[in-house]
Structure formats: C-alpha cells, structure tokens
Amino acid sequence: MKHVAILGASGAVGREMMKILEERDFPLASLKLLTGSKSAGSRLRFKGEELVAEEASEAAFAGCDIVLGAAQNPVAKRFAPAIREAGAVFVDNSSAFRLDPDVPLVVPEINPEDAAKHKGIISNPNCSTIITLVGVAGIGRLSPIESMIVSTYQAASGAGQGGLEELDAQVRAYAEGKEYPAKAFRYPLAFNLIPEIGSEAFQGYTTEEMKMQNEGRKIMHLPALTVSCTCVRVPVMRSHSISALIRTKEPVSVEAAREAVKNAPGCRLVDDLAQHSYPMPLDTSDQDLVYVGRIRKDLTAENGLALFICGDQIRKGAATNAVQIAELL
C-alpha cells in the first residue's frame, strides 16, 4: 500500500490520474491532491468521497511514497528536490527531466526494466511519442526501427483543460454565429489546423516534433534512430492520431507487422479497409488501448511500412502511462 500525491490534481491529466487510480484499484494507503493556489480548497471526488485539494508546497510531500506529476515544467522543477528529500519517487509527466541521463523515461509496454534504475525521478514521455511507440514497438521487435517519418493529428486536450474548453466554446460560438477568440491556442482551432506545437527547437523543427526522435531513442534504446516529425493540432477533443512511416533494418511483411501489432501489449489491431475498419479518434477516446491500422508496405522503399495510429491523449498519452509506471514500483 502506497501513500500517493498528485501534483497538479485539478488539470485535465491530474483529474484523469484520479479516475485511473480508482479504475485500476491502485493499492493506496492515502491520496493527497496538490494544486496551485487558485485551485487549493476545491473538492474533488475519489471513490465516493470528497477530497480537498491542498496548495502544493515543499512541506506537502512528507510521508509520500509516490508523487504523480501532472504539472508544467516550472512546477516540476521547483518541487523535484523536495519530493526527493521526502523519500518519494516522482513520476513526472512534464518534459523537465525526460532527457536527463539519471532519469528513466518509461513506457511500461516497451521498457519497464528501465523504471528500476531510477534515482528518485521517472519521467513519463510525451503523449504523441507514447502513442506512436506503443503502436510500432511490436514491429520494432521483429527488426529494429531505423527511422520514422511521422505526421501527427493532435487533439485539443494536449493543451490541457483550457484547450478542451476552447475548442468546445469555439464550436458553440460558430453555431450561434459568433466569434470566439483564441487563447489556449494561438489561432482558432475549430475548422482549422495549426502546424505548430511547442516552440522552435532545431533546424526549424519544434520542441514537440523533436521529442519523437529524442525520447524515442531513449525509450527504445535506439541511439541512432532518426525521425522527421510534423506536429499538427487538429479540431479533435482528446485522441491523438499519427500517420507513421517506419523503416526497419530488415523488411517486415504486412502480415508479420499485423501479427506483431496484434500481440503487442497495449495495442489493438483495427485494420480491415474492406470493412471500413481503422483507428479513429472518436473510437479511441476514454480508454487505454492504442489502435493501429492501415498497415501497408511503403511504396518508396523496400524496408518501410505505413501505419495509422490513434490513442487517448489524456489516458495512455499521459495519466494511464504514469499510473502504470507507479504500478511498476
């Protein structure tokens, strides 16, 4: 039985973490909800009871075994030393520590063994990266993945509760013939696409785009992996979709790839074009499996495969993966 705290409990990911701890019947000795000063005092339901959120502070981590981080980088960085000092393990969903060589970056379906090497912090990977890698890891076990060309279709939830609310409000305003200003996103998202997620990072690629390569290398233990990624925000609520073309060391047949996906943990093969069966974000929302379909031979190279992958951004892309890491502990 573990004493658990959620740091950033009032956001979209924090709330989902509560839901998932409850669903998976995580062995909890206690649950503490920590938020910023604005949300402190708010009541959140958990297993039929009301828990009162406390303002996060250095002192709040005393007695905790595990802290699930659902806050932004500055908050994660600020509290990491206090969490360590309290003797708790920090399972952090921010990107603050992901590439730190002392911090394991874990997708439990792919590299669970890395979790044991932690020194007080384990990072939860980027949401698109988790969903993509869960989708392709089974194929990577047949032959190592050498490169990926990825275009994402990322949901509003990736920008948190504010993103979800903004897309909802924009669509309602449209129905009423009104304007709704963009705040969570730089431009209107309803009926639009925004091909910029994160900030400029490397040779014109954004931070979000580079995560697929940098985090992918670390999670799959493939230091030479190269990824060209284009990240695009789409007017979808909470499932990310990924059009991926992967190149493996040796060619993998479509049949072998389908079989590998079918047997890969955390995946569901949804791949029958004749029956109009393929992954779609509405179908993958509010559940944990990553759906994989449209598996085809790359027509431009011998050793390539094209796939379409969908998964719930808030759950498998964030909250579920973090709770699964906590379960490994």
Task: Tally Cβ neighbours within 10 Å of residue 272.
Answer: 10
**Residue at token pair 């906590």:** 326
Which residue stretch of 2-10, 64-72, 96-104, 222-230 sits at the interface with its own copies (rule: CB under 8 A)?
222-230
Kindly name the residue from 64, 127, 231, 267 that is annotated as catalytic. Answer: 127
Q: How far apart are CA 159 and CA 238, in angstroms?
A: 10
| 227 near its own copies, judged by CB under 8 A | yes
Which residue stretch of 51-59, 80-88, 123-131, 228-236 sits at the interface with its own copies (rule: CB under 8 A)?
228-236
**Measured from the CB atom, is 82 or 245 closer to its own copies?**
245
Kindly name the residue from 3, 240, 267, 310 that is annotated as catalytic. Answer: 240
Q: How far apart are CA 244 and CA 148, in angstroms?
A: 7
Task: Specify the length of the chain in residues.
Answer: 329
**Measured from the CB atom, is 306 or 328 closer to its own copies?**
306
| 218 near its own copies, judged by CB under 8 A | no
* Residue at 219: amino acid letter: I
| 207 near its own copies, judged by CB under 8 A | no
**Residue at token pair 């897309």:** 167
**Measured from the CB atom, is 76 or 150 closer to its own copies?**
150
**Is 155 within 8 Å of 219 (Cβ atoms)?**
no
Decide: helix, strand or coil at residue 151: strand
| 289 near its own copies, judged by CB under 8 A | no
Does residue 267 carry a catalytic annotation? Answer: no
Q: What is the DSSP letter of 194?
A: B
Largest CA distance in the chain: 59
Task: Tally Cβ neighbours within 10 Å of residue 186.
Answer: 10
| 243 near its own copies, judged by CB under 8 A | yes
Question: How far apart are CB 94 and its own copies at their closest, in Å?
Answer: 23
Q: How far apart are CA 126 and CA 134, in angstroms?
A: 12
Does residue 3 carry a catalytic annotation? Answer: no
| 158 near its own copies, judged by CB under 8 A | no
Tokens matching residue 97: 């520590």
| 273 near its own copies, judged by CB under 8 A | yes
| 221 near its own copies, judged by CB under 8 A | no
Q: Which of 205, 216, 316, 321 binds its own copies (CB under 8 A)?
A: 205
Who's near 247: CB < 8 A, 6+ residues apart?
145, 146, 147, 148, 298, 301, 303, 304
List residues binding its own copies (CB under 8 A).
147-149, 151, 153, 171-172, 174-176, 186-188, 190-196, 200, 203-206, 213, 226-228, 230, 232, 234-237, 241, 243, 245, 247, 254, 273-274, 276, 278-282, 293-301, 304, 306, 308, 310
Active site (catalytic) residues: 127, 240
